[in-house]
Each structure stands twice: as C-alpha cells, then as structure tokens.
Amino acid sequence: MLAPSTVCLMLFLYVSQSAEGATEQKGLQRMATSQAKSEDSGSPPRLQDFLAAFELKSGTETADQDYFDRMVAADDVFENDQFLSPVELEMAREVVERLRDVEAFVGHGRFTTLSFKTVFKHSAGLASRRFTVADIRFLRDIFNRSSELLGFNGPRISDQFLAGHPQDALTFYPKYGEYLLSGEASGQFERLQAELGASVMLTSGYRGHPKQMLLYLEKVVESEGNLSLASRNRAPAGYSFHFTGDFDVGDVALGEQSFSRRFLKTAIYQSMLRAGWVKWRYPSHNLLGVRFEPWHIASVCAEIACSGG
C-alpha cells in the first residue's frame, strides 16, 4: 500500500499535468513580438559601452538606454529589480538542495534530460530529500511567473511545467557528457566539427526545465533573492532556448574560459563568422533579456529571434 504522502504527491502531479492546457502557440507569438521589438526599438545611447566589454566596435544597431545599462552591469542591483520574499528565498534554498540531490543521484549528464515529472519520481526514492507538495507548488509558481515578474525581457518558450523530450529524441555525446536534440541541433554541431575541426567542443547542450530551474535558482540564491539579476545572467526555466535545441560551443584549448570574451579571439569564433550559416541567439544587439553570448548557437530560427554574426 502506498504511503499517504506518496498518494498526495501522485494526485498533485496528475492535477498539475491535467491543468496544463495552454498551448505553445502563445509562446511563439510572444517570440515574434520580441523579435519585432528588437528590430524596431529606439536610438543607441550606450551600445558602444556594452560592446566595449567584449572589445568590439559599435555598429548601427538600436537599443534601449536602461536595458543596455543593465546588461553591461548584469551583476549590479538596480532600482525596480524584482526580489523573492524572505520566505520564498528560504524555499528557493531548499528546492536547490533537492534538485542537486537528484542531479547527484542520476548523474550530471542524465539530469539535463529529465522533466520535472521524472525528477519528482527519482526524489521519491531519496527518503530524506523528497520534494514536498509545498516545494512543487513553489517550483510551479516560479515557472509560471510572467517575464515582467521575473525581471526578464525574453519570450516564453514553454508553458508546460511537466513538459520534456523523450530519450529517443536526444543524441548523446559521451566525449562531452552532453545531449542535443536529434535533427537540426545535432546536425548543426556535427557540421561545425566537420568544417572547423575537433577543437570545437560542446560545452552545454539540451536542458530540461529542472536543469534550467536549478541554474536559475542557484543564481537567485547567490544574489539573495534578486530575480532580475539572476534573469540578466541566466534565462528562467520556461524561457531558455536550450529546451528547444540551442547549444553552447567552445574551444578545447580554452575549456571553461570559452564562456568569456577570450572566445571572441579564437580561430573557431572567427571561422564561424566567416562560415555564413551559423546563427547566434544572443548577438551583441539583442533585446531578448540575455547579455551577449558569442558561444550560444541558435538551432531553430523560424518565428524566433536570432541573428547571424
């Protein structure tokens, strides 16, 4: 016989899944709106300062003064930043530890592929670290918050808290311990390696909602509950294009330093610029809520904002 707590959790998950009738169409419409905003916004007062952080020259792209001020100093605290309440911050600390426990239990690479439904099932086997109904409600609340309440400028990618991709829809790259969505994403990465050589490494691939939530909440906790500051550095779960196929690349010689401006000086990055077919999700002039990421490759661009080099 199942324990009462287990029955309650199963009923809660069933009701949660049944309640998710919202379609992905809304997300695509918001993506198109964000793309139009990126193309039609006003004059560029501080763009040169933003690009200077990556030792680039200012172009003619348009930008919003306050937005780029925040992107240049993404780790600073600004007026009107959104914060968790003290009670919510404690809850965030608790669920971060529970997510880390499941990640340690299943392994880092495997954890990136899991949906919340699977994470909760794994957690049920960890006697001292099970997710409570209150934990799950908190995670659902953060996932369902609007971009405005999260201090984020980008479009929603998925409306479904329990959504995920099956294992047979993913390609595993054991050399990097990472997965990519099979098809467009895996094909793009393999084409990059074929054209640019084995020095191109896959630094981060597919991320399910639990992995993205963990990355986001870790930054929230680090910043003492500042949702906006966290959002300027990491897309919230439900807003990350890693869920739809985007991936990060780097130079084997740089390792983790590939996530820095040093990557701009590599032969790999310069070759991607010259290739002509590579698309970036967050180019220097983007208004999608994430600062310039020259390592972040856009997998799908139809109806979704992305740009060439």
Q: What is the pLDDT of residue 56?
A: 43
The pTM assigned to this predicted structure is 0.78
Reading the block at residue 247, the tokens are: 């991936």
Backbone φ and ψ for 113, nearest 5 degrees, come out as: -95, -10
Encode pLDDT of 84-115 as tens digits: 999 999 999 999 999 999 999 999 999 999 99
The CB-side HSE value for 258 (13 A sphere, CA atoms) comes to 20
The domain defined by 25-297 carries CATH number 3.40.50.150: no
Distance between CA atoms of residues 153 and 143, nearest Å: 15
Reading the block at residue 198, the tokens are: 């084995």
DSSP symbols for the chain: ---HHHHHHHHHHHHHHHH----THHHHHHHHHHHHHHHH----SSHHHHHHTTT----S----HHHHHHHHTTTS--TT--B--HHHHHHHHHHHHHHHHHHHHH-HHHHTT--HHHHHHHHHTSTTSPPPHHHHHHHHHHHHS-HHHHT--SPP----TT----GGGEEEETTTTEEEETTHHHHHHHHHHHHH-TTEEEEE----HHHHHHHHHHHHHHTTTBHHHHHHHSPPTTS-GGGTT-EEEEETTTGGGGGSGGGGGSHHHHHHHHHS---BSS-TT--SSS---TTEE-S--TTS--B--
Reading the block at residue 219, the tokens are: 């930054």
Q: What is the pLDDT of residue 21?
A: 44
Reading the block at residue 291, the tokens are: 């600062």
Reading the block at residue 248, the tokens are: 């990060």
Question: Count of CB atoms within 10 A of residue 305's CB?
Answer: 24
Q: In a structure prediction context, what are the per-residue pLDDT tens digits for the chain, which is 309 residues long?
A: 545 555 455 545 544 555 454 444 444 344 444 444 433 333 333 444 445 544 444 444 444 677 778 877 889 999 899 999 999 999 999 999 999 999 999 999 999 999 999 999 999 888 777 899 999 999 999 999 999 999 898 899 999 999 999 999 999 999 999 999 999 999 999 999 999 998 999 999 999 999 999 999 999 999 999 999 999 889 999 999 999 999 999 999 888 888 878 888 888 989 998 888 899 898 877 788 887 888 999 987 644 555 554
